Amino acid sequence: MTSDYRVLEGKRLLLVISGGIAAYKCLELIRRLKERGVRVRAVLTEGAQQFVTPLSVAALSEEKVYTDLFSLTDESEMGHIRLSREADLVVVAPASADILARMAAGMANDLATTALLATDKPVMVVPAMNVMMWTNPATQANVRTLEGRGIRRLGPAAGDMACGEVGSGRMVEPMEIVAGIAAFFSERQGPKPLTGRRAVVTSGPTHEPIDPVRYIANRSSGKQGHAVAAALAALGADVTLVSGPVTLAHPPGVRVVRVETAAEMLAASQAALQAPDGPADIAVCAAAVADWRVAAAAGDKVKKGPDGPPTLTLAENPDILATLSQAGPARPRLVVGFAAETRDVLAYAAAKLAKKGCDWIVANDVATGTGTFGGDDNQVHLLRRGAAPEAPLVETWPRLSKTEVAARLAQAIADTLSPHTALSTSNNSPEPV
């Protein structure tokens, strides 16, 4: 199978690690990059060394680690000019508020900022800091300055932080950084297989109100759907992501429409599909939509009463996947659904494929103990419509990161929509369920 990560093979990366608790994630980042054939050299700031040691970074990167601008040995062996220019890309992760400020000011008062100022290579920053530091006007002004100079940015994401606060400022996860780096190199390779194609992706949960303060929901984090949107965009597609309530950063290069309820998600999806220039080519329904809603949500907070808990009358939500799969001028050429099951995964997924009218189903096991909901990894089966509705073709993929599942699915979509390549992209031969 052709994978977007193949662009990383043989690439040289200079990783600048600045101070912050998120520095520990760089150990995993280095490991993931090395697995994909990237040569990683690292520069640690003085602050970074309070969180990770040069020894641990050197052990994982299998390269000398650089820390001191005034090291006679390091300067004679490599020198900060060579260090900054022998890489294909310079990545600052985590990028603290301090190093962003010094980069914006053009300072060169340690090895990291000196190498950054001396480089003639593209630079990517991955911010990580307290939410108040991130939203401070000074930090935002520094980020705008750097972006105006052509420096790329990944994140930050929103969520719980080590300081106990909640909001934007979390460093994105290592595999998201790997995907961002792969997307950068893919962009430099010329025309992409999905250039000119339009895609609509749904992601995350929906929140169905009980009253103004309570709602029905599920455990979906949106990580898989957001990764699919990013992977399609990396292959050149014009992507609209219809997202339920999540704490994830917007995928790069993706148009995002935020919704709360299933009804809002359906309306936004249909609007995106019915653009003035014609229907979208691809719809991927990865959202975990609530099957039911309260028939009549209360206008005020429901209070406890002497008669015990209130009775909630439920109504069925619209079936987004089935609706988008209906034949008609607005139907995309390829409609892909997701099936999250806790048992009999393949049987339920095959039934869903036959019932909904979509072209493919991506099925996964979300039972307790799998770690799929909210986790970073996934193990899926791709079911494609076969000669008979009750006998789809199935490919079982190994357990992968959600980013890699998304890249593999996006490549399969690209291969299917291309008239010049085979329909199957799996190393396994599809077999009837």
- Residues belonging to the binding site for CTP are 291, 301, 318-321, 338, 352, 356
In the set 26, 163, 285, 358, the catalytic residue is 163
The number of beta carbons lying within 10 Å of the beta carbon of residue 121 is: 15
Task: Return the half-sphere exposure (C-beta side, CA atoms, 13 A cut-off) of residue 163.
Answer: 14
CB 121 within 8 A of CB 91: no
* Number of C-beta neighbours around residue 110 at 10 A: 19
Instruction: Calculate ∠ Cα 232-235-239, nearest 5°.
Output: 40
Helix (H) or strand (E) holding 36: none
Residue 180, amino acid: G
Name residues whose C-beta falls within 8 Å of residue 325's C-beta, 6 or more positions apart in sequence. 331, 335, 337, 356, 357, 358, 359
| 163 catalytic per annotation | yes
Q: For residue 259, what are its two tokens?
A: 């919704």
The amino acid at residue 8 is L
CA pair distance 338, 360, nearest whole angstrom: 8
Q: What are the residues whose beta carbons fall under 8 Å from the beta carbon of 344, sequence distance 6 or more? A: none
Instruction: Give the CA distances from residue 59 to residues 54, 55, 56, 134, in Å, rounded to whole numbers and listed in that order.
Output: 8, 6, 5, 32
**One-letter identity of residue 121:** K
Binding residues: 291, 301, 318-321, 338, 352, 356
Question: Dihedral of CA 236/240/246/252: which sign?
Answer: positive
* Residue 321 main-chain phi, psi, to 5 deg: -60, -45
What are the strands, taking DSSP E only, across 85-243? 89-95, 123-127, 152-153, 157-160, 166-170, 198-203, 208-211, 214-216, 238-243
Residue 328's region, left for phi above 0, alpha for psi from -120 to 50, else beta, is: left
Q: What DSSP line would sit under 78-114, residue for residue?
A: T-HHHHHHS-SEEEEEEE-HHHHHHHHHT--SSHHHH
Q: What six digits make up the tokens of 68?
A: 């001191």
Catalytic (active-site) positions: 163
